[in-house]
Structure 1
Amino acid sequence: MTLDQFKYVYFLGIGGIGMSALARWFRVNGYEVAGYDKTPTALTSALQAEGMAIHFVEDVEQIPTAFRENRDKTLVIYTPAVPRTHQEYIYLTENGFVLQKRSQVLGLLAGQMKTVGVAGTHGKTTTSSMVAHILRHSGVNCAAFLGGITNNYGTNFLLNEPADELRSVVCVVEADEFDRSFLTLFPNLAIVTSTDADHLDIYGAHEAVLESFARFVSQIEPEGTLFMKQGLLLADKTKAQVQEYSLQEGDYHGQNIRVENAVFKFDLVYPGGIINDIELIVPGFHNVENAIAAGAVALKLGVGAEAIRAALNSYTGVRRRFEYVLKTDDAILIDDYAHHPAEVKAFLTSVKALYPDREVTAIFQPHLFSRTRDFAEGFAESLSIADNVILLDIYPARELPIEGVSSELIFRDIRSKKKQQSTKAELLDVVRETKPSLLVTIGAGDIDQLLPALKSVLKDQ
């Protein structure tokens, strides 16, 4: 299959962060694009403003007529989150349309360019966006398909400049392990940030997660390079060159890491040199480590040390990744997408390092019943870093409730000085009573929809 044979592209689940990036690529490149999603969001509104026809009710008749009447020229891209009982999915399947998962199409696109695949159970969105920003800032012709909206560019998709030879273009791809999607990629360069247990509703056991990552790195081109977080057991799973990185050790590492005026500063040590005095606008020890990995890839691609420093110093992050919503002398509100115990721990540890004299109040919304069940103890331990924890109900996302699984599984083991459970409806009143000077919101659900109201509460107090 080649993409040249299609004129129309229809998305089932167009509002997802990865799906919307693909939709934008097809739209920019002259295809007619339309799609369905379950609920309208700011992202779907942006896509509609860009000329894409989107509807929010399962209804075959709302698929544009030209798409339905030209099935041989229509490519359907779907997300695994769409149930097989979906009316439109059934219609498209039974009527001979070409259906492809997002990951399959992304693999087709990326395979035409020099690909950098950034994988890991956490850290991949920030790291991939850092790589893309360094390249774009340094004048390297690149495309990027990212898992979050970058603050520097206001999008999750960067379009490359026209090129006579596509292999001269660098394509940065966030390589997602969910549903083993990243196994459609055969990158030239790859970063693996972590291989912790996650998505056990898909994988069943941590061993299966590790097997999937082993397959991913085995697909790196033999003349390519794997930049691996030190300590991961993947070096013997690939024919590519392996270079390790970490916060303080490895072929690429940091030194002189310090916090000055709530800003993380460090030197990046690499084989043959040091990039001194990098300042990260986006704070966190984990982001220092992500920047080390991104810098390693940029060096491999021929970007100079001075250009890397300038790019990292101007990197402003990804929405919902250590994002300041409010920052005044009296009140601070930070939002983060963390939804795995290791991510929560990294985030709260960094907040504590930045503001050692402030009491941290953390609002956490668990994501998925299965993830809560599998990692309740780990979430409780990580959340206990905060001084005060406000725990919300589980955000179900794609799942139905599981008997006996609720936020209580986490709550009972939290050891913070203060803790309480709350519904979203009660949350604003709880925060008014708490009067926090440093409030953080954590979770991958819809907690971000409460940020404007929480910001108002903090400003009013």
Structure 2
Amino acid sequence: MQQQRTLEELGRVHLMGIGGVGVSAVARLMLARGVTITGSDAKDLPVLDELRALGAEIHVGYRAENIGDVDTVVMSSVVKPGNPEYDEAVRRGLRLLHRSEGLAAAMNGHQVIAVAGTHGKTTTTSLIAVMLREAGLSPSFAIGANIAGLGVNAEHGAGRVFVAEADESDASFLNYAPQVIVVTNIEADHLDHYGTEAAVHQAFFSFASLLPADGLLICCADDPGSHALASRMRRERPDLRVQTYGFSEDADRRLLDPAPHGTRFECTLEWGAGTSAVLDLAVPGNHNLLNAAAAFAVGLDCGLEPEAAVAGLSAFSGASRRFELRGEESGVRVYDDYAHHPTEVLAALRAARAVAGDGKVHVVFQPHLFSRTREFHREFADALSLADTALVLEIYPARETPIEGVTSALVTDLLNTEGGPATAGEVAAVLASRARPGDVIMTIGAGDVTEQGVAILGALAAGEA
């Protein structure tokens, strides 16, 4: 674990990649705490104006002279040697911190609740933050997406609790000092960083091992990786409190009888000796009931009565790009989801099936990263085959260079449903022509596929359905 610094120790701070969701969250928290900050990003994004209004001095474009009289430089994971600001900071011997270390400084002194997992961590963190705020605890939080009902992805609250989404992609979650950890699931992902699935599991074990004596570990009993972590920690760290949740019979908090109820989704949550509560959510799917059960456990640990925890969770209306309704035209609902791992895609499509009822489900999917597509193309094809129509765009490269022989054809060649390869320019017309009233259309992926929603709604409005 890295040294836990305080914000006061950082002095004046320059943030590189300040327009990104992670670094902008750190910037908001620092500004709220009175830290003098400057920042830079390659593009002039809307969030930069928000940060300027809060008092930050922001530059568009990276130049060595942007690093003025500062003591510390905080940077996103995408900043590398060769960036003129990075090189200038090294030349001057300034303190260089990863985004997660900047966040750790902002969390110092709080009761930290860290939410990790291959999937579901953004929604679970959001559920916890909304629940605690609805209950009047005024939590601080830092989340990987903007949250409806919260308005922002980060906020400095007046209470003692800090809720943070803990990113495992580059093992930076090991920079935190949590008192409570939620692990939603553990699967092979980010193998470009870890190399093997075993290394992923070991990273989560190292993360859970950060808990102090009497710390609380909350794990999903339905997920083999998370369940195995709970069992291992019970053996190796008897000083910890370990709780599980899920539909499994051996879960400490067990979910029963999930079902849609009008426009909402409900189930019974049982724990202890005959104690129960009804979870009533505005977001669909069994995976979100699991996320809510984890949040409920956190709420009880924070001293909430079950009724207050349930009421707070029922107020949650969703996170940006997590089964987000983009609009409805001609009786067809269009949703967008950030899912970029096969398990996430499958969960999103199962939720779409629940929402569509007797209607059909149509999806446009954009694979994210060549390495991930190479590793999981069969699993992506299996998940997408749950849809009635699956159109697959070319791979969104993000930070990667192409890998020979790795294209979207690896996925489309294995599809067991209607659809196949598609270009961005044809998606809207094709899906609008296939959709009928009562159907659901989903745009899925971590890249720019999210932009297709507007075009699809336009095509539906134009009467192409």
TM-based fold match above 0.5: yes
Counting only pairs closer than 5 Å after superposition, residues 125-144 of structure 1 correspond to structure 2 as: 125-144=122-141
Alpha-carbon distance between aligned partners in 1 of 2:85 and 2:457, rounded to the nearest angstrom: 40
Mean CA deviation greater in 90-99 or 205-214: 90-99
> Residue 233 of structure 1 aligns to a residue in which SS?
helix
Structure 2 equivalent of residue 166 of structure 1: none
Structure 1 equivalent of residue 57 of structure 2: 53
Alpha-carbon distance between aligned partners in 2 of 1:273 and 1:389, rounded to the nearest angstrom: 44
Structure 2 equivalent of residue 425 of structure 1: 425
* Structure 1: segments with no counterpart, 5+ residues: 164-168
Alpha-carbon distance between aligned partners in 2 of 1:338 and 1:378, rounded to the nearest angstrom: 13
Structure 1 equivalent of residue 152 of structure 2: 155
Deviation at 1:345, TM superposition (A): 0.6
Equivalent residue in structure 1 for 2:228, among 214, 222, 233: 233
Q: Is it true that 1:401 corresponds to 2:398 in the alignment? A: no
Over residues 332-376 of structure 1, what are the superposed CA-to-partner deviations in whole Å (9 max), with x where a residue is unaligned?
001111000000011101211222311111010111111111111
Structure 1 equivalent of residue 105 of structure 2: 108
Contact 2:336 2:443 in 1 (8 A): yes
Structure 2 equivalent of residue 339 of structure 1: 340
Structure 1 residues 212 and 188, CA, compared in 2 at 3 Å: closer, same or farther?
A: same
Alpha-carbon distance between aligned partners in 2 of 1:383 and 1:181, rounded to the nearest angstrom: 31
Alpha-carbon distance between aligned partners in 1 of 2:358 and 2:46, rounded to the nearest angstrom: 36
Alpha-carbon distance between aligned partners in 2 of 1:270 and 1:49, rounded to the nearest angstrom: 47
> Residue 85 of structure 1 aligns to a residue in which SS?
coil
Alpha-carbon distance between aligned partners in 2 of 1:154 and 1:289, rounded to the nearest angstrom: 24
Structure 1 equivalent of residue 37 of structure 2: 33
- Aligned residues: percent identity? 37
> Residue 266 of structure 2 aligns to a residue in which SS?
strand
Alpha-carbon distance between aligned partners in 1 of 2:92 and 2:109, rounded to the nearest angstrom: 30
Contact 2:30 2:106 in 1 (8 A): no
Deviation at 1:10, TM superposition (A): 1.1
Contact 1:78 1:101 in 2 (8 A): yes
Structure 1 equivalent of residue 201 of structure 2: 210
> Residue 20 of structure 1 aligns to a residue in which SS?
helix
Equivalent residue in structure 2 for 1:445, among 439, 442, 447: 447
TM-score for the superposition, normalised by structure 2: 0.92
Deviation at 1:275, TM superposition (A): 4.4
> Residue 96 of structure 2 aligns to a residue in which SS?
strand
> Residue 260 of structure 2 aligns to a residue in which SS?
strand
Alpha-carbon distance between aligned partners in 1 of 2:282 and 2:330, rounded to the nearest angstrom: 18
Structure 2 equivalent of residue 14 of structure 1: 18
Deviation at 1:2, TM superposition (A): 3.9
Structure 1 equivalent of residue 73 of structure 2: 76
Structure 1 residues 434 and 412, CA, compared in 2 at 3 Å: closer, same or farther?
A: same
Contact 1:144 1:172 in 2 (8 A): yes
Mean CA deviation greater in 263-272 or 431-440: 431-440
Equivalent residue in structure 1 for 2:142, among 141, 145, 149: 145
> Residue 179 of structure 1 aligns to a residue in which SS?
coil
Over residues 175-232 of structure 1, what are the superposed CA-to-partner deviations in whole Å (9 max), with x where a residue is unaligned?
1101101111221111101110000111111010001001011111121111111142
Deviation at 1:7, TM superposition (A): 4.1
Deviation at 1:427, TM superposition (A): 2.6
Over residues 382-412 of structure 1, what are the superposed CA-to-partner deviations in whole Å (9 max), with x where a residue is unaligned?
1110010111111111111111111111111
Deviation at 1:145, TM superposition (A): 0.9
Counting only pairs closer than 5 Å after superposition, residues 159-178 of structure 1 correspond to structure 2 as: 159-161=156-158, 169-178=160-169
Contact 2:429 2:459 in 1 (8 A): no
Mean CA deviation greater in 254-263 or 90-99: 254-263
Contact 2:330 2:461 in 1 (8 A): no
Structure 1 residues 447 and 51, CA, compared in 2 at 3 Å: closer, same or farther?
A: farther
Alpha-carbon distance between aligned partners in 1 of 2:266 and 2:367, rounded to the nearest angstrom: 32
Deviation at 1:435, TM superposition (A): 4.0
TM-score for the superposition, normalised by structure 1: 0.92
Alpha-carbon distance between aligned partners in 1 of 2:368 and 2:408, rounded to the nearest angstrom: 10
Alpha-carbon distance between aligned partners in 2 of 1:280 and 1:37, rounded to the nearest angstrom: 37
Alpha-carbon distance between aligned partners in 2 of 1:364 and 1:40, rounded to the nearest angstrom: 28
Structure 1 residues 241 and 334, CA, compared in 2 at 3 Å: closer, same or farther?
A: same
Query: Please, what is the CA RMSD of the aligned residues?
Result: 1.8
Structure 1 residues 5 and 182, CA, compared in 2 at 3 Å: closer, same or farther?
A: closer
* Structure 2: segments with no counterpart, 5+ residues: none
Contact 1:247 1:288 in 2 (8 A): no
